[in-house]
Amino acid sequence: MPAKVTLTVTEGKLKGKQFSFDSRTTCIIGRAQDCNIQIPNDVEYKTISRYHCLLDINPPDIRVRDFGSLHGTYVNDRCIGKREENQTPEEAARLNFSEYDVQNGDEIQLSNTVFKVVIEQVLQHPSTSIIPEIESLPSQVEFNLDGNLGSMEGYTKLKLLGKGGCGEVYLARNDATKELVALKTLRPQVAVMPYMKERFLGEARHTKMLDHPNLVRFKDYSCSDGIFFFTMEFCDRGSVINLRQKRGGKLSVREATDIILQVLDGLHYAHVEKGLVHRDIKPGNIFLTVKDGKLVAKLGDYGLAKAFDLAGLSGQTLTGTKMGTPAFMPRQQVLNFKYVKPSVDVWATVASLYYMLTGAYPRNFEGIDPMLAVLKTQPVPIRSRNASIPQTLADLIDLALKDHRDLHFPSAIEFKNALLSLI
């Protein structure tokens, strides 16, 4: 256990209680029954909101953000977010309160409840990584994007495919086999802490074991001139996002369901055979290629999504306002991020199907904090977005997206069978 964050209640009815976190998770504090830390829901604590604030924890890092509460959230007597007295909760939900990085010894106060923060760093024994050069990653990585993209230990970079919070993705050629691959370079932060590196490499090794026609194949990983990179199967037709753009904003029922059925096959394999939950399924992670004249869908970043997140390389925090994750995330993934079950992947897959058929997210996010939208709202019935969708299919999608404590379809195979029964 490399690091641990502990919150100890020093004032209030919960005085003396401790809440410890030793891995990546989220923690919602408030009076609502489903909060991770539930404050007593009585008159004495009425100044604390039902969903008061959100902690984004990745030990030893911890960030806090207020949800627009009337009485605010304080760190060391400094108010880091609250709504004005004349603002309604609905108006406050449209505000973007900044995240605050909490340090060891800080105090977080919600009205009459105070939490003392203790961050424990556990010394690690020297690492024996299979890629020892990763320790020497430079502080910055620069690439010449003017035609001479260079090479990386056995690979020649041909084209920049995209940039993200983790690094860059290139179309590259294996110099020995001449095979085209997707090559992803990682930002130097991967080596800031040895245990973060080991977490990432452990997930990478695990992901390399996946072998299914509907999962993007993770091929290799190495280090070149101090820069860590890995290669994956290259899908030459881009992602569902690209296909949607070519189709004018949305896909036909036939095309969308065919893609989703393939994704469900990949999910079933990963869940049942490997015990892996993706946790970041979205249209941009569903890649496409053609084999024997047929469009083949492949779910990407399987297992690596968790690795990026654990290593702090995901490029976005869960508490942030970027829409990539919350738009395809059910409530239980916010409330119980660490222990999510395969059902959250099924929900996200159905949410992706919804998006493919309508061009819209299942929930309304406009003018509201994304995480509050996930916590407080239900998806909009799909025929309200696209009335041409067959009623039976619409009913199935709406049923699958009902976002209660227990999601309706616990497994990929159950939703696949339900979908096949309509098709």
Cβ contact 75:296 at 8 Å:
no
Of 173, 284, 263, residue with least CA distance to 212: 263
Q: For 76-96, what is each residue's pLDDT tens digit?
A: 999 999 998 888 877 877 777
Q: For 272-299, what is each residue's pLDDT tens digit?
A: 998 888 888 999 999 999 999 899 999 9
Note the pTM of the prediction, 2 decimals: 0.80
* Separation of CA 77 from chain center: 32
DSSP 328-344: G--HHHHHTGGG--HHH
Pick the CATH number of 240-422 from 1.10.645.10, 2.60.40.3880, 2.40.50.140, 1.10.510.10: 1.10.510.10
State residue 20's pLDDT score.
94
Other Cβ atoms within 10 Å of 118 Cβ, number:
14
State residue 175's pLDDT score.
92
Question: Has domain 3-121 been given CATH number 3.40.190.80?
Answer: no
Q: For 206-216, what is each residue's pLDDT tens digit?
A: 677 889 999 99
3-121 and 240-422 share one CATH topology? no
Q: Are strands 25-30 and 37-38 parallel, antiparallel or unpaired?
A: parallel
Cβ contact 113:48 at 8 Å:
yes
Q: How confident is the model at residue 143 (pLDDT cuts 50, 70, 90)?
A: very low
Q: Are strands 151-152 and 155-163 parallel, antiparallel or unpaired?
A: antiparallel
With a cut of 60, say whether residue 316 has pLDDT above it.
Answer: no
For 234, the token pair is 């290259």
The single-letter DSSP state of residue 283 is G
**CATH code linked to domain 145-233:** 3.30.200.20
Domain locations in the chain as residue ranges: 3-121, 145-233, 240-422
Give the end-to-end CA distance of the chain in Å, rounded to a whole number.
49
Other Cβ atoms within 10 Å of 151 Cβ, number:
13
Distant-in-sequence, close-in-space partners of 350: CB < 8 Å, separation ≥ 6? 260, 397, 400, 401, 409, 415
